[in-house]
Amino acid sequence: MIVLVAAAVLAACKGKDTGKAADTEEETALQYYQTDRTYDIVDVVMPPVTNEVRNVIIMIGDGMGLEQVSCAWVLNHGKLNFDNFPYTGISRTWCTNELITDSGAGGTALAIGQKTAYSCVGVAADSTDVPSVLVKAKELGKRTGIAVTCHFADATPCDFACHNEYRYNQDDLIADYVECGVDYLSGGGTDWFTNVKRGDDRNIMTEMANAGYNVVTTEEELMQAGLPVIGILSPDNLPVAKERGDLFRHSVARGLDLLSQGDKGFVMMIEGSCIDDWLHGNDIEKAMEELLDFDRTIGDVLEWAAKDGHTLVVVTADHATGCLTLQDGNLEDGEIGVHFASESHNGIAVPVYAWGPGSDRFTGIKENAEWGQIIASFVK
């Protein structure tokens, strides 16, 4: 049973057992949440770190700091697929002109291996286009992919496939996908490809079809289409985690299946995009359901990578959001009591998790761009 109530009400119910005061300012600010969608984590054996790296999978939890991961860990009764990662590091997320970054600059640093300015996507701080790690992979004959829960005009997928000095020049960014060269694209945003949200009369879906892409709009079509393909599976972002079922997980699995059929390996970026959206809204229920769905997807990826034996998996965040603190809860019951101090991003460093061949390189405290450089060093 899902419970999301003000702490004043909950404290009144719990007072007989805990003796907690219900009238403090701090306690009345807490949101309590408990999910009924708990799950077992995967049991995988990591291949030797010395194995050759043929494939690289970059997974980004947008807005996901250690505080958000800690909350999800409690909700799932003290276990997450994150627990499988033997190597961890810390990423500093500031950008060239702001201490507190956004997803444009934060994601671009991971994609191109250098820091850039606030709101830039796929460009250096001087607005010069810089090829992402996906472009490098493509030039080497590898296949490339992107799977996200947001719409394609959002910052992070654009960081890896498009170029613009301002992330909200979204008409231009969507048009960049026509020539981006990414083999597998899955996410949302049909409205952004047509004049529903465009400021011109271009239909980018038609242009992508003319460029050779299989353009599909349903999960069923995506499961049947070959490369290159773009699955635009909703008018805007994908439905929220509790409504979309396994759509995101299926889209990731389909990408792995198609991309792995090449003989030179692949690079894929996977984003749990909407964790951040609900943290901005201080909605702990939806943010945690997005993060738990992201963790289930991590489990799927690790199971696939364990069978492959030559895949490096790196999970990190572009920044943290919401100034979230875990102040109460119960591990046995899977309940958390949290407080948000902000509706914006913050400057706290975020975690980096690595698994598979080459994962021993991912330790220590580094800038986000340095992590991007290390990731790119395995694409060869």
pLDDT in tens, 113-149: 999 999 999 999 999 999 999 999 999 999 999 999 9
Region 82-102: what's the mean pLDDT?
Answer: 98
Cα–Cα distance for residue pair 207/189, rounded to 1 Å? 15
**146-173 tens-digit pLDDT:** 999 999 999 999 999 999 999 999 999 9
Residue 191 in 3-state DSSP?
helix
Check if the beta carbon of residue 317 is closer than 8 Å to that of residue 275. Answer: no
Global pTM reads: 0.93
Q: Are residues 239 and 334 in the same domain?
A: yes
pLDDT at residue number 28: 57
40 lies in some domain = no
Q: Are residues 102 and 182 in the same domain?
A: yes
Q: Are residues 7 and 123 in the same domain?
A: no
Q: Are residues 208 and 269 in the same domain?
A: yes
350 - beta bridge partners? 91
Q: Are residues 250 and 315 in the same domain?
A: yes
CATH of the domain at 122: 3.40.720.10
316 lies in some domain = yes
Q: Are residues 1 and 55 in the same domain?
A: no
What is the chain's mean pLDDT, rounded?
93
169 lies in some domain = yes
Cβ burial, residue 122 (10 Å; 0-12/13-18/19+): buried
- Which domain covers residue 5, as residue numbers? 1-34
Q: Are residues 283 and 189 in the same domain?
A: yes
138 lies in some domain = yes
Check if the beta carbon of residue 46 is closer than 8 Å to that of residue 351. Answer: no
Q: Are residues 201 and 295 in the same domain?
A: yes
Pairing of strands 184-188, 31-34: unpaired
Structural domains in the chain (count): 2
Region 35-59: what's the mean pLDDT?
Answer: 98
- CB neighbours of residue 195 within 10 Å: 11
**Residue indicated by tokens 């702001």:** 98
Q: Are residues 65 and 14 in the same domain?
A: no
229 lies in some domain = yes
Q: Are residues 163 and 17 in the same domain?
A: no
Region 209-238: what's the mean pLDDT?
Answer: 98
Q: Are residues 203 and 329 in the same domain?
A: yes
Q: Are residues 236 and 287 in the same domain?
A: yes
41 lies in some domain = no
141 lies in some domain = yes
**242-291 tens-digit pLDDT:** 999 999 999 999 999 999 999 999 999 999 999 999 999 999 999 999 99
Pairing of strands 55-61, 143-151: unpaired
66 lies in some domain = yes
Confidence label for 29 from pLDDT (cuts 50, 70 and 90):
confident
**342-377 tens-digit pLDDT:** 999 999 999 999 999 999 999 999 999 999 999 999
